């Protein structure tokens, strides 16, 4: 029983993990492009060649990935950042969001367009 518990703890400790900061970009109005610098911290990645993808576009590739690195990206809508190994398997992924300061075009009507009175 103790060996089984120890084996599952070791396998959980070696699972790849990463942290992508920031994961949200704030733009002035809807449709604006977001350009931001990301800090990516990766842990427990086996030795392999990795490529970073934004949506389906390849950004960078590395023979050996560093524990922490920075990259600058540009995107115009909510997207997915993915780390893909040499066998085209998505090892890790993170969602990147865009928030706008201005509300979408058009005004909301507060009351009904007609009234009996």
- Tokens 């009904």 belong to 112
Q: Is the pLDDT of residue 1 over 60?
A: no
Report if residue 66 sits inside a domain: yes
Check residue 16 and give its pLDDT: 86
Asked, for residue 108, whether it belongs to a domain, the answer is no
**Tokens found for residue 110:** 């507060």
In a domain, 110, yes or no: no
Domain CATH code at residue 49 = 2.60.40
The contacts of residue 113 (CB under 8 Å, 6+ apart) are: none
Confidence of residue 5 (pLDDT cuts 50, 70, 90): very low
Domain count, the chain: 1
Above 70 in pLDDT, residue 28?
A: yes
Q: What percent of the chain has pLDDT over 90?
A: 52
**C-beta of residue 19 within 8 angstroms of C-beta of residue 40:** yes
Average pLDDT over residues 104-113: 66
User: What gap in Å lies between CA 43 and CA 35, rounded to an integer?
Assistant: 26
Examine residue 90 and state whether it is found in any structural domain, yes or no.
Answer: yes
Is 70 exceeded by the pLDDT of residue 9?
A: no
Cα-based distances in Å from 110 to 102, 104, 107, 113, 114? 19, 16, 9, 9, 12
**Residue 57 belongs to domain spanning:** 16-97
Write down the pLDDT at residue 10: 46
């Amino acid at each position: 029983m103790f060996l089984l518990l120890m084996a599952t703890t070791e396998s959980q400790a070696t699972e790849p993990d990463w942290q992508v900061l920031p994961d949200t970009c704030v733009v002035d109005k809807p449709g604006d492009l977001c350009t931001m610098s990301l800090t990516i911290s990766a842990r427990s990645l086996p030795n392999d060649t990795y490529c970073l993808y934004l949506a389906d576009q390849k950004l960078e590739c590395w023979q050996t990935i560093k524990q922490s690195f920075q990259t600058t990206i540009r995107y115009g809508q909510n997207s997915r950042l993915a780390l893909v190994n040499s066998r085209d398997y998505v090892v890790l992924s993170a969602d990147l969001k865009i928030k706008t300061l201005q509300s979408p075009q058009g005004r909301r009507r507060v009351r009904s367009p007609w009234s009996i009175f």
